[in-house]
């Protein structure tokens, strides 16, 4: 399908964002025109956490609708035909938020027992593979690599360094910890609940491949519960709960936000009227679920090879998303 599209679904790093991990003025103006003149709803889909990308969504919202865009859920429902609307799918689709009200649409967490095993998989003297996790609003990592925050210029998010995650058996209930004045929380005290994604970062591709096998073995040993494994970048392997992908999250989001319509499969209809953009293997399901999927010119070569049926557009350095959207909606370049 070439249009008209009602939804623009886009990955962020390597796709919507410039190589400096920022939204260019050209891209912001393009989205503003599509929203205001064509009624398009933007959906940002990323491997990053909501705490990390909320500021990017907020800045886009202000540019498109002005400072008065934040309204309550009740107000948005009462004025749905004209209310601002932007959604975020984070942690590769494990979590969805309404970007206007900041309300959670849904969340899917990794089984705490599996998350604990994943966080403790590598030895304490590991130097080459960094184990990370998104736990509620926190970013936790086992190795202190400051360069990992390079993509988080707008949010300024910082990770919590936990070199050796303790066993869950040592976890102190939050209420008791608070009573004793303790400020530590989550993984640092052996609490493995609320984890949307565990990810391993290394430039050793052979290690990542071997780790993928170990991850599946851990999951299978835990009552055979599977997990979802993908690569957001060539040096980053992501692990989420079973069934979590950006594509499945998009279906789930539409099912949650769209009103039923007799005789119409509203989810299928919304997917058909969506255009999506991505550059990583974690975008694969999303790109093939919508009416039109576009691969960035700077994409992972494996993604391009897997989907010869999809159009390859300009790179993120060339504002590829914005230029393709302007072409599709017949706007001046």
What tens digit of pLDDT does each residue of 213-242 get?
A: 999 999 999 877 789 999 999 999 999 999
Residues in the chain: 333
Kindly tell me the sign of the dihedral angle through the C-alpha atoms of 249, 98, 299, 289: positive
CA 36 to chain CA centroid, Å, is 25
pLDDT tens for 250-276 read 999 999 999 999 899 999 999 999 999
pLDDT at 117: 97
CA gap 85, 52 in Å, rounded: 20
Least confidently predicted of 47-56, 167-176, 219-228: 167-176
Strands in 41-45's sheet, in edge-to-edge order, are 104-107, 95-98, 87-90, 41-45, 7-10, 274-278, 292-295, 311-312
Give the up-direction half-sphere exposure of residue 267: CA atoms within 13 A in the CB hemisphere.
Answer: 11
The SS3 assignment for 167 reads coil
Quick check: 82 pLDDT over 60? no
CA gap 178, 180 in Å, rounded: 5
**How sure is the predictor about 75, in pLDDT bands with cuts at 50, 70 and 90?**
very low
Query: Rounded mean pLDDT of 116-145?
Result: 96
Q: Detail the DSSP E strand segments found in 166-269.
A: 195-201, 227-233, 236-241
pTM confidence score: 0.91
Which residue ranges form the domains of the chain, and what is each CATH number?
7-108+245-328 (3.40.50.1000), 112-241 (3.30.1240.10)
Q: Is the peptide bond before 4 cis (omega within 30 degrees of 0)?
A: yes
Phi and psi for 289 in degrees, rounded to 5?
-95, -25
pLDDT at 1: 60
**How sure is the predictor about 81, in pLDDT bands with cuts at 50, 70 and 90?**
very low
DSSP state of 100: T
Quick check: 178 pLDDT over 90? no
Query: Rounded mean pLDDT of 55-62?
Result: 96
């Amino acid at each position: 399908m070439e249009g008209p599209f009602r939804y623009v679904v886009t990955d962020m790093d390597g796709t919507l964002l410039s190589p400096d991990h920022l939204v260019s003025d050209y891209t912001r103006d393009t989205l503003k025109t599509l929203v205001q003149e064509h009624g398009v709803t933007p959906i940002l889909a990323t491997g990053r956490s909501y705490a990390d990308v909320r500021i990017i969504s907020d800045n886009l919202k202000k540019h498109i609708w002005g400072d008065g865009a934040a309204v309550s859920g009740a107000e948005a429902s009462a004025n749905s035909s004209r209310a601002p609307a932007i959604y975020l799918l984070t942690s590769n689709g494990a979590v969805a938020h309404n970007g206007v009200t900041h309300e959670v649409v849904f969340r899917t967490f990794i089984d705490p027992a599996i998350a604990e095993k994943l966080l403790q998989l590598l030895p304490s003297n590991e130097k080459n593979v960094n184990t990370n996790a998104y736990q509620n609003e926190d970013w936790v990592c086992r190795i202190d690599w400051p360069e990992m925050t390079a993509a988080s210029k707008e949010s300024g998010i910082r990770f919590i360094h936990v070199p050796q995650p303790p066993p869950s058996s040592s976890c102190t209930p939050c209420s008791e910890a608070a009573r004793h004045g303790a400020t530590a929380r989550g993984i640092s005290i052996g609490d493995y609940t609320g984890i949307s994604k565990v990810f391993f970062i290394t430039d050793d591709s052979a290690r990542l491949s071997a780790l993928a096998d170990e991850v599946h073995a851990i999951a299978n040993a835990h009552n055979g519960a599977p997990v979802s494994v993908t690569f957001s970048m060539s040096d980053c392997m992501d692990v989420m709960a079973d069934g979590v992908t950006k594509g499945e999250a998009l279906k789930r989001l539409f099912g949650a936000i769209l009103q039923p319509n007799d005789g119409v499969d509203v989810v299928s209809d919304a997917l058909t009227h969506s255009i999506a953009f991505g550059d990583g293997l974690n975008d694969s399901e999303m790109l093939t679920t919508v009416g039109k999927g576009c691969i960035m010119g700077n994409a992972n070569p494996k993604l391009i090879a897997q989907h010869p049926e999809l159009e390859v557009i300009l790179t993120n350095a060339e504002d590829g998303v914005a230029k393709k959207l302007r072409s599709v909606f017949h706007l001046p370049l």
